[in-house]
Every structure is written in C-alpha cells, then in structure tokens.
Structure 1
Amino acid sequence: MTDTDARDVSPVSLTAASRPDQPPVTPELEDLYRGFEKELLVPLWTEIGDLMPRQPKSKAQPHLWEWQTLVELAARSGNLVPVGRGGERRAIALANPGLGGRPYATPTLWAAIQYLMPGEDAPEHRHTQNAFRFVVEGEGVWTVVEGDPVPMRRGDFLPQPGMNWHAHHNAASAPMAWIDGLDIPFQYDIEAQFFDFGRDHLPDEERTVPDRSRSQRLWGHPGLTPVARSGRTAATPLLCYRWEDTDAALADQLRLEREGHPSTVEHGHAVVRYTNPTTGEDVLPTIRVQFHRIAAGAETAPRRETGSSVYQVFDGSGRVRVGDFSWSVQRGDLFVVPSWQPFSVASDASASDSDSGALDLFQFSDAPIFTKLNLYRSHVEEIAR
C-alpha cells in the first residue's frame, strides 16, 4: 500500500501549515505527517487551538423558536402522525442551527414540544435519560409515573427521573401541548443510554384523574419530610411542582425586596430553583431547573456560565440578548443560551400580557454535570444603574 492509499483510508488527515505557531514545512515534516496518518496519530501542536481554547467556544448558536409557530406545526402533526408503540411520542425536537441538524437544542440538552390529541395515550416506557415536562398553557393530560397518575396544568413542572416507567393520556376534549426536556445528547455522546418498552395499555385504576398524585400527597409539603421514606435519593421523588407554589415564592421575593429586605439575586429579579426534597440539591442529577421573575422595567446584568440553558417565556414580554443576537419575546417562546455566551433580559411586561405583571422565564440547564466535574464557572458583568 502506498502512502497515498494509506491516507485515503485513514480518518486522520494532517496538513503542514506555514504559520508562526507551526514547525517549518519541509519534505521531512510532510513524511512525518503521513506516518502519523497511517498509524492514526494526531500531534497536539496542530490541534491545541481547537481542543484547548482560552475560553469555551460552543458549537451551538443562540436561537429563538416562536411558540405560536411550534403549536401550529404540532397541531398539523396531530392530524397526520399517530401516537403508538415504536414512535412512542408525538414530540418535535428543537434543532440548534449550529449542531449539524441533530435534534439537539444544545450539545447536552434536548427540548421538544409534545402534542397529545383528545383521548390519546402515549404508551408506557422507561429510559436512563432524565426528563421533565413543563406546561405553559392548558390542562387535561395526566402523566402516569410508576403507576401514579399526575395531573398536568399550566405552570406545573413535572420531573421524570431516569428509569421510571411513564405514560401519558389526554382525558380532555381538546388537544394539549407542553415542552419536554431531557439529557439525551449528553447520554448519547457518552454512550450510556438504555430504553425499555412497558405495558401497551394502562389499567383502569391508573387512568383515573385525581386532583393530587400520591407523590404530591407524600412529598409535596414544604419543609416536611415523611419519616417513613427518609433517606437520600439521586433524583426527586416529588413528581409535580405546582405553579401556585412557584408563583407565591417569586411574588414574596419581590415583595420582600420592595420592603427593603435582601431576597432577590439582583434588583427586580427573583429566582427559585426546583430541588430534590431528600437532599436540597438539583431536582435531577444532570438537569438544573429554575424559574425567573423579572419585574416590569427591570433589566438583568449580562451573565456568562459554563454549560448551556434553554429558556421558555411563561408569561409577559421582554427583550433578550444572547451574545450578538437579540429578540423580542412573548409567552411560550423558547430560546437557547450556549456556554459562556453573555445573556441579559429586559422586562417589558405589564398587566395586559402577564398575570404577575412581570416577565416570567422557565429555565433548564446542564449545570449539575459541570458542578459535579468542578467545571462550572460564572461571571456577571457590572452595568450602570
């Protein structure tokens, strides 16, 4: 086999470059590189700028998806695409324009709009991927997790730890849409994923529509731990975090701020984090979930974080800036903040477009992964007030 043939079959391709940071281009260097290619070797001096940049350079791009367009396309799919075993879910993933057409919102996070028609069932399955559902509008769908029917309503956050059996059914007379978030890209790239099919049909006792699930009755009492079930769990045992509790917590932070007490992360910016009641840590091992309320007229300081986030506008309107991109946003819109891109938001909300009179943002990120690996960093820029 000639050197040319070896290079043709090798996935390694090296080019000697005449640059200040590279060795002089000589016939001997070219021959050395052909030897590297043949033996599947890559010298660091040709790759260091890409492999070890001075700061994160995400392949993902900031991008905005408008909720109204997503719902319209999901409704069209509801009339064309059945839900059943094999396809499993009528879920339509956000594909970041910088990630080569993969169904990834960011390099580690998967986000999708899921749509269920009246009377439909999404079949039971389980997977190692950690997941959640968040409802920006509507009600009438129940998710059944390990046999526990959990109602889904506007503003509810419903975590789904990995390897829990789960199915959905729409008991209402109208379709319903919500967003799903999972760590699919992360688990896919580290080759750790497993998936199992469950039962094809749920028994009648699991198709009931209780106002509160068993998990909420046991775990949904703030600051109170059931002694019979005490002990740490890797992910939250509480399967639904109700909007009324989230709303009250955010409203109280802003009230305390107005009364002169320290309660917000910055002026006019209240934040709560959903946590595992058995540990006080992140609600899922690989996904951090937070909710932001930005008072009308307030603007957040630009912030950079390692890792990536997906945001959904729950209520209100405002102006968002991510890196060199900026958008006006309204209820339901979703956008991506890639790693180490500066992010800021200004609230234009009022009583006419927001129940709270503020801009409400739902956020999920891969921060727990970075924190566990001691790779999490953040920086907040100072802005003139």
Structure 2
Amino acid sequence: MSDMTQSATGASGRKQALDRMYDEINRKHMFPFWAKRSDVAHDEIASLMEGRKAVPFHWSYKRDLEPLLYQSASLISTEDSDRRSLILLNPGLKPQRATVSTLYTAYRLNDPNEIMPPHRHTASAIRLGLTGTQNFTGVEGEDIQFGPGDMVLTPRDTWHNHGNHGDEPAINLSVLDYPLVETLNALQFEHDYQENGIAKKQQSARFDPHYSARIYGTGGMTPRFVDHYRGVGGSSPMFVYRYDAMRELLERNRHAPADPYEGLMVEYTDPLSGGPVYKTMTFFMLMLRPGERTLPMKQTASLLVSPLEGSAQCVIDDETFSCDPFDTLAAPGNHWLYWVNPSATQTAFLFIASDEPALKAFGLLQRFGKNESGDILRLA
C-alpha cells in the first residue's frame, strides 16, 4: 500500500472516529468547545455553534400590529382568555418569547368597559398608553386611569389588573423583563386574588387615584410621613408617570445642547433613589428636533424603541429602519446605532426601554462612540 493510500485511509478512519465521537457527545447532551464550523458537519452541533442571537427588527403598527389587534379582539373574548396580547418575537431568538434577549414588548387592545381580573408575577412590567383616554390599571390598591404616552408600573409580585373604562377601544403597549426572569428560572404567576379570604375579580381601592402624583409628582422632595414600601419594594413607589410632564420637561430644554450620542434624552427614575424604576430595566423619552442627527454609539445594552409622536430613522450598522408612531424597533446590543429625524418641521418623541440596569449590576455595561472623524472612543 502506497504512502498516499495509507494517508487517505488514515484520514477516512479519523473522520469516522470524529463522527462517532460527535454523535456520542450530542447524545449525552454535551458540546465540544473546540468545534469549528469548518470541520464539524454534525447537524445538531453545527446548530449549537450558531446559537441564538437577537437581530435588529422592526414591527410596523399600521401594517403589522393594528389589524391583528382588532382581529384578535373580535375573535378572542375575555371568556376565552384574559391574556389577549400580542408578544413581539425577535426572529433571531425564536422560539423564545423575547423581543431582545432580556425583554419583550407586547401590545393589547382592550374593548370598551373591559376589565381583566387581578394577577401578579415575578416579572416586572410597564404599560404605556397608545390610544384611548381611559385605559385602566389597578396596582396594589391604586386605581390608575391613563392616556396616550402615560407610563404605568406594575412591579414584580404586585397584584394588578388591566382594562378600559372608556366607551371606545383602547390600545396599549407593555414591556416586561420576562425573558431575563425566565432565564434565571424565577418566573412565577398567580391569579387567585383574594381579600380577607374571599376571591375577588377586582382589587378594592386603598389609595386615591391621584396618589402617585400627589406624593411623588413634584420630584426632588420626599415625604417622610408615608410608607414608601408598596407591594414588595425594590422598585419605584411612584406607579404612574404622565406624558404631559415628561413632554413639558423636554420642551423646556428644546434649545439645550444635546448629548452627541443620545440627543435630548430623559430617564424615568425612582423618586426615592434617583435611579431607574426597576433593577432590571429602565425607560427613557428621547426628543429629536427637526433635522437632528446623533453620532454612532455601540453599547452592550439592548433597546426597545416606540415613537409616540413624529417619525425617526434609526441606522443600525448599515441598515436604516424608518419608525412611525406606535411602531416597535428591537435594537440589540453590540451594534452601531444612530438616530436621524428626517423632518425639517416635526419633532419626534421616542419611548425607549433598556436592560441597562441589569448589565450595570453585573458589570457588563460598555459603551463606545464614534466622533465626527470616525475615531472610536470609549464612553463607559
């Protein structure tokens, strides 16, 4: 046998041995960390090497969401389910229920005078009004009525229920840290709400409807005569943040010099600590003035973006996403991103959710920016 034949036989034998080994590794639920795409043909292991990763993705409210919301309301009644929401699934993360790796956005249409029964869960959430002036959320005995742009907190493990007190359908948007809590194997739900041992379909009011504004609405002043421990604690005790106040703050600073990477952005904060409203996620409002453009920034934090007024373009790496009111854009971390307001006359207001606090807690938050010359700078 020639040296060439022996070499071929040896190569063939090694390949067969590798194939058998990779089959055995997969069968025993392991992964070969040394594996390279170029030398492993095993389907399951090749799939594991690819992994799941969130990708930039855009959902149009008018094209994708609004028609399905009205259709779901006509076909799915409250008798069928009290969870009639559409969760946005990132194509790169399917089948996981996640819009970016740690958060998801969901949309819901509430029919006129429709109130869901109370429930609670270990995931924290916010609800943002889009349409309708009489959206309703009851949180730990505070009955909150809210309209477009208002943000309502439902902190982890607080009893809450949602609905609509108006005579017209109302649409709102939710953001939850559900994927993060699920990954940490800490997700729990409860639906058996009781008061004094009696099951109830709605919480009794223990606070007046304007409690959050009356106690915390001015900012910078903390009353010492109330118990700020609402629900389980660990989050902002102020349960509703009004759009009018946020918009007024931004308008007052319309002519202020903006951050070159984030523009004129304001964070919703805990009135006691000054930090984010949750330990896992935070929320911002960004005002882009006519013709305004930010510089590119790349960060490890992921964003979920929904315009409330006006339109904006988001450039992620080399792809441009045009975002109109009530759309959602998933902007995963570790991509270069900048904003453009293409209008010469109209201001854009963008609601943004971020997993920044979770990354900070683990020491994983990093930010890089490009200056006008294209040089890369470390920002955080």
TM range (shorter): 0.7 to 0.9
Distance (Å, rounded) in 1 between the aligned partners of 2:37 and 2:302:
23
Distance (Å, rounded) in 2 between the aligned partners of 1:80 and 1:250:
41
TM-aligned CA distance change 1:139 to 1:374, over 3 Å: same
| Poorly superposed stretches of 4+, deviation over 3 Å | 24-43, 205-208, 229-233
TM-aligned CA distance change 1:226 to 1:42, over 3 Å: same
Deviation of the 1:40 alpha carbon: 4.9
TM-aligned CA distance change 1:345 to 1:25, over 3 Å: farther
Gaps of 5+ in 1: 1-23, 50-56, 258-263, 352-356
Distance (Å, rounded) in 1 between the aligned partners of 2:27 and 2:68:
49
| 1:1-385 paired onto structure 2 within 5 Å | 25=14, 36=25, 40-46=29-35, 59-69=53-63, 70-84=65-79, 87-197=81-191, 198=193, 199-202=199-202, 206=205, 212-229=209-226, 233-257=233-257, 264-266=258-260, 269-349=263-343, 357-383=346-372
TM-aligned CA distance change 1:383 to 1:35, over 3 Å: same
TM-aligned CA distance change 1:268 to 1:168, over 3 Å: closer
TM-aligned CA distance change 1:34 to 1:93, over 3 Å: closer
Query: Which stretch of the first structure deviates more once superposed, 295-304 or 318-327?
Result: 318-327
Contact map agreement 2:124 2:154 (CA 8 A) in 1: yes
Contact map agreement 1:58 1:338 (CA 8 A) in 2: no
Deviation of the 1:231 alpha carbon: 6.9
Query: Which stretch of the first structure deviates more once superposed, 245-254 or 361-370?
Result: 245-254
Q: Deviations over 1:48-90 (max 9, x none)?
A: 99xxxxxxx9711111111123122101111111125x83222
Contact map agreement 2:90 2:100 (CA 8 A) in 1: yes
Deviation of the 1:113 alpha carbon: 0.7
TM-score by length of 1: 0.80
Distance (Å, rounded) in 2 between the aligned partners of 1:223 and 1:117:
38
Amino acid at match of 2:72: S
TM-aligned CA distance change 1:121 to 1:268, over 3 Å: closer
Distance (Å, rounded) in 2 between the aligned partners of 1:181 and 1:99:
17
Distance (Å, rounded) in 2 between the aligned partners of 1:310 and 1:120:
28
Contact map agreement 2:261 2:295 (CA 8 A) in 1: no
Query: Which stretch of the first structure deviates more once superposed, 341-350 or 288-297?
Result: 341-350
Distance (Å, rounded) in 1 between the aligned partners of 2:105 and 2:75:
22
3-state SS of 1:177 partner: strand
Distance (Å, rounded) in 1 between the aligned partners of 2:294 and 2:105:
25
Q: Deviations over 1:158-209 (max 9, x none)?
A: 1221000001231111000010000111111221111111254226x6499x
Distance (Å, rounded) in 2 between the aligned partners of 1:225 and 1:148:
19
Deviation of the 1:136 alpha carbon: 2.9
Distance (Å, rounded) in 1 between the aligned partners of 2:139 and 2:261:
39
Distance (Å, rounded) in 2 between the aligned partners of 1:26 and 1:61:
35
Aligned-pair identity (%): 25
Query: Which stretch of the first structure deviates more once superposed, 141-150 or 93-102?
Result: 93-102
3-state SS of 1:368 partner: helix
TM-score by length of 2: 0.81
3-state SS of 1:228 partner: coil
Deviation of the 1:106 alpha carbon: 1.2
Contact map agreement 2:127 2:172 (CA 8 A) in 1: yes
Q: What corresponds to 1:3 in structure 2? A: none
Gaps of 5+ in 2: 1-12, 39-50, 194-198, 375-380
3-state SS of 1:139 partner: coil
Q: Deviations over 1:304-329 (max 9, x none)?
A: 11131110011112222123421222
Deviation of the 1:265 alpha carbon: 1.3
TM-aligned CA distance change 1:48 to 1:186, over 3 Å: farther
TM-aligned CA distance change 1:26 to 1:333, over 3 Å: closer
RMSD: 3.0
Amino acid at match of 1:300: T
Deviation of the 1:34 alpha carbon: 6.3
3-state SS of 2:320 partner: strand
3-state SS of 1:46 partner: coil
Amino acid at match of 2:73: G
Q: What corresponds to 1:4 in structure 2? A: none
Deviation of the 1:137 alpha carbon: 3.2
TM-aligned CA distance change 1:363 to 1:38, over 3 Å: closer
Query: Which stretch of the first structure deviates more once superposed, 330-339 or 264-273?
Result: 264-273
Distance (Å, rounded) in 2 between the aligned partners of 1:90 and 1:29:
50
Deviation of the 1:33 alpha carbon: 5.3
Query: Which stretch of the first structure deviates more once superposed, 60-69 or 193-202?
Result: 193-202
Query: Which stretch of the first structure deviates more once superposed, 238-247 or 321-330?
Result: 321-330
Distance (Å, rounded) in 2 between the aligned partners of 1:207 and 1:169:
18
Deviation of the 1:31 alpha carbon: 6.6
* Number of equivalent positions: 342
Distance (Å, rounded) in 1 between the aligned partners of 2:280 and 2:242:
21
Distance (Å, rounded) in 1 between the aligned partners of 2:84 and 2:16:
58
